Amino acid sequence: MHLTIQRDVFMQAVQDVSKAVASRTTIPILTGLKLEAHADGLTLTGSDTEISIERLIPIEEGGIELIQIQRAGSVVLNARFLGEIVKKLPTNEVTLEVSPNFMTRIESGQAEFHLNGLDPDEYPRLPELSSERRFYLPADLLKTIIRQTSFAVSGQETRPVLTGVNFSAEKGFLTCVATDSHRLALRRARFETDNDLTFQNVVVPGRSLNELAKLLDREELPVEIVLTDQQILFRLKNISFFSRLLDGAYPDTSRLIPEEYRTAVRMNAKDFLQAIDRASLLARADRNNVIKFVAEEATTVEVSSHSPEVGKVSERVSILSLEGEELKISFNSKFVMDALRALDASEIEIQFTGSMRPFILRPVEQDSVLQLILPVRTS
């Protein structure tokens, strides 16, 4: 392998595929990136076996030449060193040349690196997914879905299936659900498919989705999503993002969501978020994050918190409307702040069915997204 490449393009690609490389691994070759030069350009691959990312740098893009390939070939180079080196190279023109023993010369300006490379034949092969089960989502919608659900996955490995977001599809609608059994995030979206695609229990690790989200910023084309029994593939322009799916049956969450309510409060989301943020300053001190919420008046609600050691705080927050019964309830302020940030709406409605029952936050007059939270029992 022998090629000349633009530093900035190379650096971006190395950073992209490095997202799949684990800092610690028991398989030494997985600390490396596979580089493969061929007639179409340079393909980089990083993997930790759960996530694999493949990125093509084409020979040219938009009429601009990105790579000159003098000799095809491949090598595996340490991801961390390669990333740091490329970032600090002195000029934008970089030459890579691999010797038969995989020693790789990287030259830029007056700087010359010789990195010990590894045999690319020892690098694990990516799965070749062939499946009829495929659909398309706009990149910004996919990013929003991830942002509105993945924060609510469980961080505990006791029920591994809850560390993922459950994707299901029926009648042209995609439903994504995440829950850690104290709260639940749900997002629905219409999707495009060539056939009448129906599936359920496709559970994608939350960590995979968070890494994928970082790659979606620059994406303008719709993302193609391909499903197999064990893997999901997100195909972006020049990037293939593979993730393992989680085993096990995702719990049926539909019956957790109350279908009616006894109290509904509409309010400005930002005012509410800031008031809870202030009240949680003292709540945090006791490490249970508990905030009290009282809806008894037509124009304001009260949020308050009390810490015997530090003191207490209370604040009245203006509301748009109160419908139904008066209510006192306690909740974890972090869960409500996470939910409000995820809704990303200027006006929200909170629907309660009593102080011991889960409550729902959703944007006013929009039912594609909801956040459900279990209250905290106090007494």
Residues of this chain that interact with its own copies (CB under 8 A) are: 78, 81, 84-85, 88-90, 103-104, 110-116, 274-275, 277-278, 281-282, 285, 309-317
Give the single-character DSSP code of 222. Answer: P
Closest C-alpha among 328, 317, 318, 334 to residue 281: 334
CB 109 within 8 A of CB 95: no
CB nearer to its own copies: pick between 12 and 314: 314
Q: How far is the CB of 73 from its own copies (least distance, A)?
A: 18
Phi, psi of 185 (to 5 degrees): -120, 135
Closest C-alpha among 299, 360, 362, 295 to residue 325: 295
Measured distance between the N- and C-terminal CA atoms of the chain, rounded to whole angstroms: 70
Q: How far is the CB of 46 from its own copies (least distance, A)?
A: 18
Q: How far is the CB of 312 from its own copies (least distance, A)?
A: 5
Q: Supply 73's token pair.
A: 């070939």
CB nearer to its own copies: pick between 188 and 341: 341
Q: How far is the CB of 48 from its own copies (least distance, A)?
A: 21
CB nearer to its own copies: pick between 215 and 301: 301
CA atoms of 345 and 372, how far apart (whole Å) = 16
Position 91, amino acid: T
Instruction: Please give the angle made by the CA atoms of 60, 61 and 67, to the nearest 5 degrees.
Output: 30
CB nearer to its own copies: pick between 19 and 80: 80
CB nearer to its own copies: pick between 71 and 312: 312
Q: How far is the CB of 310 from its own copies (least distance, A)?
A: 6
Phi, psi of 246 (to 5 degrees): -85, 140
CA atoms of 303 and 340, how far apart (whole Å) = 15
Q: How far is the CB of 249 from its own copies (least distance, A)?
A: 43
CB 216 within 8 A of CB 147: no
CB nearer to its own copies: pick between 71 and 114: 114
